[in-house]
Amino acid sequence: MNTALRVDQARLWESLMEMARIGATANGGVTRLALSDEDRAGRDLFVRWARELGCAVRVDAMGNIFARYAGGDDALAPVLTGSHGDSQPLGGRFDGIYGVLAGIELLRTLQDADVRPRRAVEVVNWTNEEGSRFAPAMIGSGVACGVFDLEYGLSRTDRDGHTIGAELARIGYAGAPIQPLSVHAAFELHIEQGPILEAEGLTIGVVTGGQGQRWYEGHFSGQAAHAGTTPMERRRDASLGLAELILAVNEIGNAFAPDGRATVGSVRLTPNSRNVVPGRADFTIEFRHPEDAVLDRMDQRLHAAITSIGQRRHLEAALKQVFSYAPVAFDAHCVALVQEATERLGYAHRRMISGAGHDVLYVSGLAPAAMIFVPCVDGISHNEAEEISPQWAAAGADVLLQAVLAAAA
């Protein structure tokens, strides 16, 4: 590792701020939903910067963009880095795109120093990581890594019925057929999206793996009734079932602390009128934990709670699991490269598990991989108030640079 080689902090920050003007919101965030016009503009800027570096740019059938900086022996599998450019609605300026633009800054630094590693380095901008417009999340990397088939990926729809395939064609990013990924090692740099690093006064998170996730959709059905004429004891109020369920889900999360996460994220009452007893309550639930066995136990408690609530409240109850992926342990050698780079650069750090889903979790099923976290202010993310410092941004990019160079040597 050549720790004298550092990224240009000011240039990286300028790139982040220029990208943040695309889809900028009134309160300092961005809305750059996947395959929107704003996403197209962000993609165009990424491609322009990559081509200015002499990179070969390819786009696959899911719209994933790969910018390849040639190595000394291009017959060798490349080292991959990058993240995603889409955002949440009224999201932050750094979630995802920081990892993409740190990759661009890494390549600029190599070019400035006339460094050509033995292996090529590719920077990827994945499609629809957030899942905020098209569900599920991480669909672009999922198709590229063989988790989902292409037909499934292209057929996902948004609330208005637009498919990913149609929107890729509309914005001009429907690319070449998916080819099996050939990757020697992969690294993703990201903001932590949590409060731990800042609270502990640390600069780098050496990420050793990712939590497993399980998503559920369900409902309680009772009887819609007049709010003024139906006695309390004769009601089959679906909202009461929902209220109990929210508390039960919270208790499940607390029961498996400190790593358990349990959230009721979306609810809908029907008919949703002020003078009608709700006859139906729809809801979504998400569980996260780094151990599959614990997720199984959380699942069992959830089913027991819903059955009990339904019987006690005289409600019909339904629940189905709609998405899951198993916990991921990152490659020990890639994690060691990140750790070594962090220590040689002198940054205060800790090892940690990612609580959020990231594209590299899918990539890790095909190639050795690891992640790097930097702090974000107050742990706020998926919010216009999301913030990092230029110093944190550069520190993470420097660690990424050293880890990528070591893997590409």
Domain ranges of the chain: 9-211+327-408, 213-325
Ordered DSSP codes for 18-69? HHHTTTB-TTS-B---TTSHHHHHHHHHHHHHHHHTT-EEEEBTT--EEEEE
The answer to whether 382 is a known ligand-binding residue is: yes
- For 9-211+327-408, the fitting CATH number among 3.30.70.1560, 3.30.70.370, 3.40.630.10, 3.40.50.970 is 3.40.630.10
In 3D space, the residue among 311, 290, 391, 289 whose CA is nearest the CA of residue 347 turns out to be: 391
> What's the DSSP call for residue 314?
T
**Tokens 């408690």 -> residue:** 301
Level-2 CATH architecture, domain 213-325: 2-Layer Sandwich (3.30)
pLDDT in tens, the chain (409 residues): 788 999 999 999 999 999 999 999 999 999 999 999 999 999 999 999 999 999 999 999 999 999 999 999 989 999 999 999 999 999 999 999 999 999 999 999 999 999 999 999 999 999 999 999 998 899 999 999 999 999 999 999 999 999 999 999 999 999 999 999 999 999 999 999 999 999 999 999 999 999 999 999 999 999 999 999 999 999 999 999 999 999 999 999 999 999 999 999 999 999 999 999 999 999 999 999 999 999 999 999 999 999 999 999 999 999 999 888 889 999 999 999 999 999 999 999 999 999 888 999 999 999 999 999 999 999 999 999 999 999 999 999 999 999 999 999 9
The answer to whether 190 is a known ligand-binding residue is: yes
The CA distance from 183 to 180, in Å, is 10
The CA distance from 84 to 124, in Å, is 8
SS3 label, residue 296? helix
The answer to whether 130 is a known ligand-binding residue is: yes
Q: Which residues make beta-bridge pairs with 189?
A: 372
The answer to whether 303 is a known ligand-binding residue is: no
The answer to whether 219 is a known ligand-binding residue is: no
In this structure, the chain runs to a length of 409
pTM to 2 decimal places: 0.87
